[in-house]
Structure 1
Amino acid sequence: MSNTQIVVLAKRPRPGFVKTRLTPPYTPEEAAELAACALRDTLDAVAATPAAARVLAVDDVPGFHADPRFGGGAGFTVIGQRGGGLDERLAGAFGDAYARCPVPVLLVGMDTPQVTPELLSRAAAALDGCDAVFGPAADGGFWLLGLRRADPARLLGVPMSRPDTGAAQLRRLDGLSVATLPVLTDVDDAASAREVAARAPRTRFAAALARLAAGATR
């Protein structure tokens, strides 16, 4: 078993609250369905990765537990998110996970359903020899961040959801040894959704996108 824990930061997939940049061409209900499939793919990948602990940090704990699509988060410790901005919620998730289990932390979101156990295991192994591990995203952000020791100062104040977010986050890691993972594409809009589905055709996300495409052509 790995001595690293994996945290997934996620929103409960609700129409109008998730993947709003997919609307249009998709309806809010369809965007929420795609988000739910992306989250389930991510949880599957994390569940299949050796880890000391698996944590799901969500914005709506009661709603998530009641959502039949996720079975209450079986195999995961489900915790609430803290903070307002994304930088605060990331820092809170790192801190809360580390307080529960003081071992290195890997954190991913729900925007890269193409993530695999192999990539996550590679990230965990990197923390055996480095202070941090960084997974850059094609849009200039990042899809994974790992820290051997949780430190809110490494995240708080980093500008999020911008083309320079990844570069800003890397600057916050100055002084640490950092391993870098391959670039992945976040699901942000319809074009990136199609790209991700093409790269990971066996995922729930790709199947859902194909169903929606088939329905649109009838």
Structure 2
Amino acid sequence: MKSFRPSPVAATLLVLAKAPIAGLAKTRLTPPLSPHEAAQVAAVSLLDTLESMSRSPVAHHIVAFTGELAEAECADEVARALTDFEVIAQRGASFGERLANAHADAARYGLPVLQIGMDTPQIGPEVLTWAARELVLRGDALLGPADDGGWWALGLPAPQAARTLVDVPMSTDRTGELTRDAMQCCDLRVRALPHYNDVDTFADALQVARASGGRFAHLIQQLHNALLAHR
């Protein structure tokens, strides 16, 4: 007897990612980490995120990527992981422009788009699949608040509202609030997803590691033990 497999959720899962290059990735982790170690943290966070995405049964999986992968930490492992995804180039000067353009590119399949970042490796495929299904069933925008006032996920039923992200200040303690306001100005009802912390500082990394498993939790434990040993 053939096993039953449910149809994939009729949505596109999108992640914005950049090459985890020492000196360019996760710079707020230095100190206490070295630039090389901070880039390793970024790499394993991306790898865990990609694994959760690949295990989420949605119709399309897209990575909007920037940076020279050949110069990155864990370059070979990241390159292998990316073969399971449709990879597109990020376009735009500011982060807001790159967000807006990535949503427009991902929406070419005519499906709602759930976009996440690479800084929440604790979020597994169950949460991503549930959020994608909510986006499809309800037709509202979805916003996943982060502890620092930003957001870890944005779900849009159509890409037009993403253009307003160009004018939203990013990486501030009001980014989430202002993003919600921008979506509401586009006549979208905005529903909140669960609250999660993302990784900006080493204290964040320790907290996220306690809530996750996989490569990220293992590396953070190693780095934390090494820091304690050198005190």
Q: TM-score range by the shorter chain?
A: over 0.9
Quote how far apart the aligned CAs of 1:64 are: 8.4
Structure 2 residue identity aligned to 1:120? L
Are 1:186 and 2:198 matched, yes or no?
yes
**Distance in 2 separating the partners of 1:135 and 1:86:** 18
Map of 1:63-142 to 2, 5 A cutoff? Answer: 63=70, 67-70=75-78, 71=80, 73-99=82-108, 101-127=109-135, 128-142=137-151
Q: Give 1:8's aligned residue.
A: 15
**Distance in 2 separating the partners of 1:62 and 1:12:** 5
**Distance in 1 separating the partners of 2:67 and 2:36:** 18
Quote how far apart the aligned CAs of 1:207 are: 0.3
Query: Could you say which structure has the higher helix fraction?
Result: 2
Structure 2 unaligned runs (5+)? Answer: 1-7
In the alignment, which of 172, 177, 202 is matched to residue 162 of structure 1?
Answer: 172
**Distance in 1 separating the partners of 2:164 and 2:142:** 13
TM-score by length of 1: 0.94
| Distance 1:89-1:27 versus aligned 2 partners, 3 A rule | same
**Distance in 1 separating the partners of 2:28 and 2:64:** 22
Stretch of structure 1 that moved more, 120-129 or 88-97: 120-129
Quote how far apart the aligned CAs of 1:195 are: 0.6
Structure 1 residue identity aligned to 2:152? W
Structure 1 residue identity aligned to 2:112? P
| Distance 1:57-1:122 versus aligned 2 partners, 3 A rule | same
TM-score by length of 2: 0.89
Stretch of structure 1 that moved more, 54-63 or 202-211: 54-63
In the alignment, which of 10, 25, 29 is matched to residue 22 of structure 1?
Answer: 29
Structure 2 residue identity aligned to 1:102? G
In the alignment, which of 199, 217, 226 is matched to residue 215 of structure 1?
Answer: 226
Asked if the contact 1:18/1:35 (under 8 Å) is kept, the reply is: yes
Stretch of structure 1 that moved more, 151-160 or 165-174: 151-160
**Distance in 2 separating the partners of 1:75 and 1:39:** 14
| Distance 1:204-1:10 versus aligned 2 partners, 3 A rule | same
Structure 1 unaligned runs (5+)? Answer: none
* Alpha-carbon RMSD: 1.7
Count of aligned residue pairs for this structure pair? 216
